[in-house]
Structure 1
Amino acid sequence: MAFRWIGKSHDGNTVTLNKLVECPVKFPEYATDTWLNTNQDIVRKGMVLDVETTGLNQTDDVVIEIGMRQFDFNKNTGEILRLGKSYSAFQDPGRPLSPEIIALTGITDADLEGQKIDWAHVDQLISETCLVIAHNAKFDRPFIDRKSKTSTERIWGCSFKQVDWNSKGFTSPKLELLNIYHGFFTDSHRALNDVDALLYLLSHTAHDTDKTYLHELTNNAKRMMTHVIASSAPFESKEHLKTRGYSWDNTNRFWSKIIFKDDVKNEVTWLEDTVYCGPFNGIQRDIALMDNFK
């Protein structure tokens, strides 16, 4: 299925991109203050969150910038009804940034000197929401969980994994490319810019369902997930496993992936037919909703 490239000219030769200014979400006409106050049974408060860090190691690296924005949404339709509180702050890591991180984020050592994130405030904002969304929650969540107890008690959603971009014709789920496909771009790789970009992206309607991307994400965030471990998989099956989306755990020496629990039966059948050529010899571990992406 070909994706709908917003901003593409009729002749297909040019694309117009608009710079994202703040978060230009269009709210449904019915979402008045009166309606919101009288329909609290279907109004939920979510949050989009992003961090910039000193590197990719979730044990040794630290957060240097956080961006977060609350929003109200209709739990039945996935429509964004109202924007809420936002917070953005720097954190001095106590050591110089690498040239790679400076180039990626545009953040310098001078920007961070003496700066501190108010983690108590972060914790309070998270406590007011029922769902925390990041574009790569498996990366962002461990950094936040280390600093916020409330984060460990919340359901996290992942727009990278819990929206089926491929079925909509998008060949890459990278946020920067999805933004471009939807006709806009942001300045630099900065936390609050990425938060507003993601929230605006999720407000768009998928042409194959006429539902917002947020609707798909929130529905999937409520589905149980299972860690499927293809232990003792034959060496010659590695290319099949890689193509299927399995990752190699070099510490525990096995291939695995996380899928929706209701897809496990079909996955086990595939493993039996393609990998084991016999009974499934792996492990299935169900994941509690609040433990997703930890």
Structure 2
Amino acid sequence: MTQPLDSIASVLEGTGEYRVLRRVRPFVEYVDPPNEPTFIGLILDTETTGIDHARDEVIELGIIKFEYGASGRVYRVLETLNQLHEPSKPIPSEVTRLTGITDADVAGHRIDDAAVRAMAADAAVVIAHNASFDRQMCEGRWPIFAEKNWACSCHQVPWRDEGHEGMKLGYLLTDYGFFHNGHRAIDDCHALMALLAAPLRVSGRLALSCLLETARKPTVRIWAAGSPIATKDVLKARSYRWSGRRRCWYIDVEEERFEIECTFLSEEIFQREIQDLPTDRITARDRFSARTNPEN
């Protein structure tokens, strides 16, 4: 029935009065063999008992292992993993409402740690749609993820510049004419694979290529230590964030913007030349990790 239904959907769309959403389908392997260097990547998603990486637990892990080229083209899916895990405490009701995962679903299940390590062993990059959350949830349980380069498909692809109003996975899928079973780990992975393998709507670049280019660039975290209290609104307006632990404003910028930012701080914040502000250089090996969390 797929072909007749697709024909009906095309007729509806052709009227200009309807938009039809199609369910995300598994990635179709690229027909031609790679004509460029290829690498191994992982798309990863977790469902958890909460948002505190130090106390909450992963209750579902989904991973797609895939081969991609230096151009950002996805060639084939190599392996998938989708496993449930029974946590040490009952799953909170709000988590069940969001994910549909119940205590009965996870009873007696345990994620195979050895299988996870084997999948991650040769990965050049791990991609998640909220990498700062998924990386920190994974590193404590599977230390191999602390050794990997990570990329965030939510914040390291210029979705807004490409004509998207929202960056959530479901919103992006809708813009591309798809839907999926959200908030289940492997379904989110397949949805993200579909987005990363597709051309962006304005530039036409492959989304994965754009993501990897951004992820490879080192960034510098500048701490505006000792900034006058009266300048906090100016800093906030320039996207500085407050670290409660360090009691200090900070910003992450690409290396080429470092001098520009120092000039701004000298002229607008400190009103004097500054040369000794603390900085941290951050790469994909540490980015989104608990190691670079400004509250740690």
- TM-score range relative to shorter protein: 0.7 to 0.9
Q: Deviations over 1:244-263 (max 9, x none)?
A: 33322112212223232222
Runs ≥4 residues deviating over 6 A: none
Alpha-carbon distance change, 274 to 16 in structure 1, aligned in 2, over 3 angstroms: farther
Alpha-carbon distance change, 262 to 198 in structure 1, aligned in 2, over 3 angstroms: same
Contact 1:106-1:188 at 8 Å conserved across structures: no
Note the C-alpha offset of 1:233. 2.7
Partner of 1:209: 203
CA distance in structure 1 between the partners assigned to 2:181 and 2:218 by the alignment? 36
Note the C-alpha offset of 1:163. 0.9
CA distance in structure 1 between the partners assigned to 2:238 and 2:18 by the alignment? 35
CA distance in structure 2 between the partners assigned to 1:150 and 1:165 by the alignment? 30
CA distance in structure 1 between the partners assigned to 2:269 and 2:19 by the alignment? 44
Q: Deviations over 1:22-44 (max 9, x none)?
A: x23563x43xxxx34xx5x6111
The answer to whether 1:57 aligns with 2:52 is yes
Partner of 2:192: 198
Partner of 1:24: 27
Q: Deviations over 1:179-204 (max 9, x none)?
A: 11111111131111111111111111
Q: Structure 1 length as normaliser, TM-score?
A: 0.86
CA distance in structure 1 between the partners assigned to 2:29 and 2:229 by the alignment? 51
Query: Aligned letter for 1:172?
Result: G
Q: Structure 2 length as normaliser, TM-score?
A: 0.86
| Identical pairs, percent | 31
**More deviation in 88-97 or 256-265?**
256-265
Alpha-carbon distance change, 46 to 236 in structure 1, aligned in 2, over 3 angstroms: same
Structure 2 residue runs of 5 or longer lacking an equivalent are 1-9, 290-296
Alpha-carbon distance change, 273 to 103 in structure 1, aligned in 2, over 3 angstroms: farther
Query: Aligned letter for 1:141?
Result: R
Please state whether the residue corresponding to 2:154 is helix, strand or coil: coil
Contact 2:216-2:283 at 8 Å conserved across structures: no
Q: Deviations over 1:153-182 (max 9, x none)?
A: 111111122111222232322222111111
- Structure 2 residue corresponding to 1:158, chosen from 137, 152, 156: 152
CA distance in structure 1 between the partners assigned to 2:175 and 2:283 by the alignment? 34
Q: How many residues align?
A: 278
Higher relative contact order by CA 8 Å / sep ≥ 6: 1 or 2?
Answer: 1
Partner of 2:4: none
Structure 1 residue runs of 5 or longer lacking an equivalent are 1-6
Partner of 2:229: 235
Query: Aligned letter for 1:96?
Result: P
Q: Deviations over 1:203-258 (max 9, x none)?
A: 11123332201001111221112222222233333333333333221122122232
The answer to whether 1:42 aligns with 2:45 is no
CA distance in structure 1 between the partners assigned to 2:62 and 2:121 by the alignment? 16
Contact 1:225-1:289 at 8 Å conserved across structures: no
Partner of 1:78: 72
Q: Deviations over 1:47-83 (max 9, x none)?
A: 10011111111111111110000111111x2111111
The correspondence of residues 126-141 of structure 1 with structure 2, limited to 5 A, is: 126-141=120-135
Please state whether the residue corresponding to 1:291 is helix, strand or coil: coil
Partner of 1:115: 109
CA distance in structure 1 between the partners assigned to 2:54 and 2:109 by the alignment? 21
Note the C-alpha offset of 1:147. 2.0
Query: Aligned letter for 1:89?
Result: Q
Contact 1:136-1:160 at 8 Å conserved across structures: yes
Note the C-alpha offset of 1:105. 1.1
Note the C-alpha offset of 1:289. 3.4
Please state whether the residue corresponding to 2:251 is helix, strand or coil: strand
Please state whether the residue corresponding to 1:88 is helix, strand or coil: strand
Alpha-carbon distance change, 147 to 234 in structure 1, aligned in 2, over 3 angstroms: same
RMSD: 2.3
**More deviation in 178-187 or 278-287?**
278-287
Please state whether the residue corresponding to 1:49 is helix, strand or coil: strand
Alpha-carbon distance change, 242 to 174 in structure 1, aligned in 2, over 3 angstroms: farther
Please state whether the residue corresponding to 2:285 is helix, strand or coil: helix
